[in-house]
Amino acid sequence: MSAQIQPHSHRHDAREYLATVERACRERGLRLTESRREILQLLAAQGRPAKAYDLLESLRQLHATAAPPTVYRALEFLLAHGFIHRLDSINAFVTCHHPEQAHQVPFLICDECNEAEELCDDGHMAALIAREAQRRGFAPRAQTLEVHGLCARCRARR
């Protein structure tokens, strides 16, 4: 029987997402500072992967003196606690659709429009990779599977 995979476009209600992250922070005893919240809000409003410097430019519209360390520290916190994901291959960040729970997810990334879909597979792919790593004596620290190609919309335009 194959795993039931459900795609998640990163277009979601930014307010609802922020409320979920705020609730998770309260439950975990984490401090969601104003700058962390602003970066998260900017990323959520994008609805698609965003680079750190794009977030910095957006933040500077709110605070003219905003500096790169502010963005990078906020992103580091948000990554560490599973509220966002980093897409290494395109050097960008996306919001997580399940910020209340720790998980590893694969992404489908369109090489033309840079849209990213988070695939939720109940841990099947992540578990397979973890088992194979363990079998080889490898101790993974992080895991993000990125699959590149063309999304249905870009394929239809061709």
* Euclidean distance between CA atoms 10 and 142, whole angstroms: 21
Residues 6+ apart with CB under 8 A from 12: 44, 47, 95, 97
Going by C-alpha positions, the residue among 99, 116, 118 that lies closest to residue 150 is 116
Tell me whether residue 110 is annotated as binding.
Answer: yes
Output the CA angle 119-122-128, nearest 5 degrees. Answer: 90
Confirm or deny that 113 is annotated as ligand binding. Answer: yes
94 with 48: CB under 8 angstroms? yes
Instruction: Specify binding-site residues.
Output: 110, 113, 151, 154
Known binding-site residue numbers for Zn(2+): 110, 113, 151, 154
